[in-house]
Amino acid sequence: MSGVRKKKKVKETSIESVILKYLNILPNTFAWKNESVGIYDEKRGTYRKKRREHSINGVSDILGIRNGRLLAIEVKTNTGKVSNDQQLFIDRILREGGIAGVARSVADVRKLLEEADTKEGINANETGGN
């Protein structure tokens, strides 16, 4: 081919890693990867989740605490779509006073945190939001 290069697809795990590194250098913030992959079912050739009484579908990829509030971030690639269960989880966290949203980059996370800090009346300089 004459100099045409295919763009390398960025994986969600790579985006999650960069976001987690960013979050965990911020003051008043503690975040971790929520491992939500099920058990591999050889008969079905797919992953399945154990059904338990208090299990919740759609829990975000990254969970944490920021300034005493629950933090939930659903990580997607540029082409990734949020499932109905994932959106319901985000909506519930927001309704309960947490910080939640979808992020495709660290810039999206910065914006999410700045908006949350503004609502709380927190100066972004105090929490590393710049």
Q: Over the stretch 13-38, which tens digit does the pLDDT of each residue have? A: 999 999 999 999 999 999 999 987 66
β-bridge mates for residue 102, sequence order: 74
Token pair listed for 17? 């890693």
Share of the chain above pLDDT 90, in %: 65
pLDDT of residue 130: 45
Is the pLDDT reported for residue 8 higher than 80?
no
Domains (range + CATH), the chain? 12-127 (3.40.1350.10)
d(Cα 47, Cα 18) in Å, to the nearest integer?
Answer: 26
> With a threshold of 0.85, does the pTM exceed it?
no
Q: Counting beta carbons within 10 angstroms of the beta carbon of residue 51, is it exposed (0 to 12), middle (13 to 18) or buried (19 or more)?
A: exposed
Q: How far apart are the first and last CA of the chain?
A: 43
Of 40 and 91, more confident: 91
**pLDDT tens digit sequence for 52-88:** 778 888 999 999 999 999 999 999 999 999 999 999 9
CA angle (115, 116, 120) in 5-degree steps: 115
Average predicted confidence (pLDDT) for the chain: 87
